[in-house]
Chain A
Amino acid sequence: MSGTLRLSRRRFLQVLAGTAGALVVGLRVAEAADGPTVPVPPAMLGDDFDALGAYVSIDGDGNVLIGARDPDTGTGTFTSLSRIIAEELDADWSRVSVVSLGLGVENRQGKPFWIYGHQRSGTGDSIPAAWADLRQAGALARWLITQAAARRLGVAADRLRCEAGTVVTPDGRRFGYGGLVEAAGQIDPPDAPLPLKAPEHYTLIGRAARDVDGRAIVTGRTRYAIDHREVDALVAVLAPCPWPDGSLASIDTSAALAVKGVVKVMPLKPEAGVPQGQTVIAPAVAVLAENTWAALQGRAKLKLDWKPGPSKGESSAALEAQAQALLDGGTPPTTRVRDDGDVGKASRKAAHRIEATYLQPWLAHATPEPMNCLVQLDKEQATLVVPTQAPQRAWAVVQRLTGLAPDKIAIEVPRVGGGYGRRLDHDFVAEAVMLAKAVDKPVRLLWTLEDDLTHDFYRSATAHKLSAALDRKRNIVAWDQRMASASALAGRGVPGDRLWTSELTADQLPAGLVPAYRSDWYALASAIPRGPHRGMPHTANAFAVESFIDEIAHSLRENPFDTRQRLLGAPRQLPLTGGGVLDIGRLANVLQLVADRIEWKNWLHSVNGLGIACWHLDGAYVAHAIEASLQGNKLDIVRVVCAVDVGRVINPLGLEGQVAGATLDALSTALNLAITFKDGQVQQRDLKDYPLAGMAQLPRDVEVITVADDRAPTGASFIAMPTAAPALANAVFRASAVRVRRLPLMRELLRLL
């Protein structure tokens, strides 16, 4: 039953001749091994939709199955990655189905080889990576089909063209792909990469596509990892220690074990010396039961005494005071991130100086789908279903704990209920694997929302102290930024002089635009776990910087749009320290677009307050303009406009959704959200304490403007995060004359009013 996989030298794309007469095109990111033919597991070649081992499969009826390699956490990758492949294939989109590939790993002398290349979501690089290599997968399948048609019809291949799943001859005859795939599978692929389509011939890229999972989702048929029920597994829930560095002092399991259906109670703890995010997040007691309800009841009946660790002394209030003291004092910074010109000298000579401090709170991820993981384990292999943003990292955790060979670990990644950076860490995978090892049965680990909120890898609070000096012509001549935060990279094997890199960038505004610019970072020490968070580090920095630019404008009695325009200056390209360029023209353009749309000319006389902000990150550009009104204590976000320039747009509808979605997420966070801790314990336990904004608090529409651009696409899942909050704070200032320098905004605004 096994098919043959023809491997050839210096060839990246491969043709897998399927058993069912299907044409299957896969892709390898590194050079294929030399050799003739090797057997391929039938599962990779059959027409079983759940076992696709390649990117494109076309069956004899012309149905196209595309495998999506990056997880889809709501970022639209299943749709956009497939559109990129389908475009080069000239597929009929109405006949395309998409499946998640899951982890692709091979054993290369005991080391993992990632056969699908990039497999990560929510880090802004899914689309750029797909643009770089996935287009070839579609192009190869189309080339093979065209060659097969040419041979059959006796027409030169270059006289044939492809259109919506058919090959069209010069005299207008049409041949569906389905009838050609068997012959196409026998043709040798070319040695060199194929030419790609010219953008003017695109029929899918740049046109709107709805989510490929839409119908399954609205009918409740989409199976998230948390929904898997096909395995007879024990359900495990955890009673975690309130302190990440605490320990179990005493335990009485009798009442828990008396609950009908409870099978076992066992403690778990972090492994010493293993970096955060790869082992158990905090000591915990696991309750394993035959069903979820029994497990939850058992957990409620545990009698546990936890002994606190050193973190018991921590509070978010004390850390904030420590941050302010650091920024105000004469202590040298942990890292001087950037130092252009002579800030001291420029400030002394300045005509005008201004200074302000901005404080932003700790944040949780609050993913809709809680942490969970299904593990089936035996001596020979591990099979997991994991809601992850980074299956290769999940693999590393499983491999370390099981010692299995690289290709003996299978990880399925169904659609994921939100990531926001939380699922780049795999503590919950480690927990599930440890439990499955201990009970010698499949285990389905389930966290609850309360577990997620109280045991997260949080975004650290930040404190920014910004000082600017201006000359007589109102130009900013010196900028001094001091920032204090607890690095998300601490405890993760990153050297001390690189800990700042999760907290700010050396290229963020207004670096490069001000002759004397200094940026210092001060490390805060905290035992509260930290980790990646959506839009980090830009969101916190943009709030401080873009609020401060408004304050500068106000102190100059100037229109803040004009202040920004003058700061940006003439269109030009500035080199970035991290590579690439800052294109001032593109940044100024998005700023102008939102200003025009919201009728910024009314800025001074508008009844409501208007606020604006702009930012750049990873080669993409964003601006927000917001109109807000304040009636008594009620803040109404009347209008929100966002313009983005992310290079070529793959799916305009998807991009609009990401931009509007990130805008609302950023507004919800800025308005309401804060994690606090006292005696080392997080105080927010549910959504009443951590109130994601409801419909009533959010704007009724977000107007999204997309710049048409033919440059290579960038990621877009968090491009709209950074500027929403400062644009709102700037609008609130115009509406109320109250400058909010501390988030969450609503609490601070009501305090100041």
Chain B
Amino acid sequence: MAPAQIQPVPAAAADQIVPEPVRAGIDVEINGESFRHTGDPAMPLLWYLRDVLRLTGTKLAGAHGESGADLVLVDGKAVSAITRPMSTLAGRRITTVEGLAAADGSLHPLQQAFIDEDAIGCGYCTSGWLIAALDLLKRKPHPGDDDIDQLPNRCRCGTQTRVRRAIKRAAAGSVA
């Protein structure tokens, strides 16, 4: 048989929806859009992204983000999303992997470089590599091998040599 489709939750009819009063919460900007978190302030950013906003490109990477798959940019710096409670993020600007491409869908040069170098294994940790590499390129537009060596990410598929090439390719393309 064909794979059955997971059934979505039925939506309430429009006339049953009663607007809620505006609730207090933590305001954050994520990928250029404004959001207000009204739940548990102790909730880590990772679960806010994945469970509440359903932005699942940022992955679970261990209780302390050890593998780097949960990296996001907070005000331009790479941060492990599981280690940051929402309470610390009021007014912050957050970029996830879903926010790297331009609004018209054109890819960031680093994303294109990962495709060009086929720097993808299973792909689970790729978003973390992209975020860490962006952070690096921001600090060092033309990173050397020793700079790239400092990336915190871990990858069991063994894509590190291709990731290195992708970062160099992106750096070479950006005449900074």
Contacts and interface: CB of A to CB of B under 8 A. Distances in A.
6 contacts: A215-B115, A292-B47, A368-B124, A449-B67, A664-B158, A695-B153
A221 B115 contact: no
A450 B64 CA distance: 10
A41 B152 CA distance: 49
Nearest to A219: B101
Given A214-B118, A217-B120, A417-B122, A293 B156 contact: no
B61 A51 contact: no
Interface in B47-75: 47, 50-52, 54-64, 66-67, 69
Interface of B: 1-9, 40, 43-44, 47, 50-52, 54-64, 66-67, 69, 96-98, 100-101, 107, 111, 114-116, 118, 120-127, 130, 145, 148-164
Interface stretch (A429-437, A483-491, A655-663, A735-743): A655-663
A496 to B, nearest CB: 33
A221 B62 contact: no
A43 interface: yes
A220 B70 CA distance: 12
Interface in A224-246: 224, 226-232, 235
A532 interface: no
Given A219-B107, A449-B67, A660 B2 contact: no
B112 to A, nearest CB: 8
Residues of B contacting A: mostly? loop
B122 A73 contact: yes
A263 interface: no
Contact of B121 (A52, A448, A661, A695): A661
Interface in A247-302: 260, 291-293
Contact of A51 (B5, B59, B98, B150): B5
A222 B96 contact: no
Interface string A41-84: 10110000011110000000000000000001110000000000
- By DSSP majority rule, is chain A's interface helix, strand, loop, or mixed? loop
Contacts of B67: 368, 449, 687, 692
B158 to A, nearest CB: 3
A219 B145 CA distance: 25
B2 A41 contact: yes
Nearest to A701: B161
B51 to A, nearest CB: 5
Interface size class of A (residues with CB under 8 A): 35 or more
Contacts of A53: 1-2
B126 A217 contact: yes
A679 interface: no
Nearest to B122: A74
A370 B58 CA distance: 14
A664 B2 CA distance: 38
A385 interface: yes
A285 to B, nearest CB: 18
Given A368-B155, A661-B157, A226 B60 contact: yes
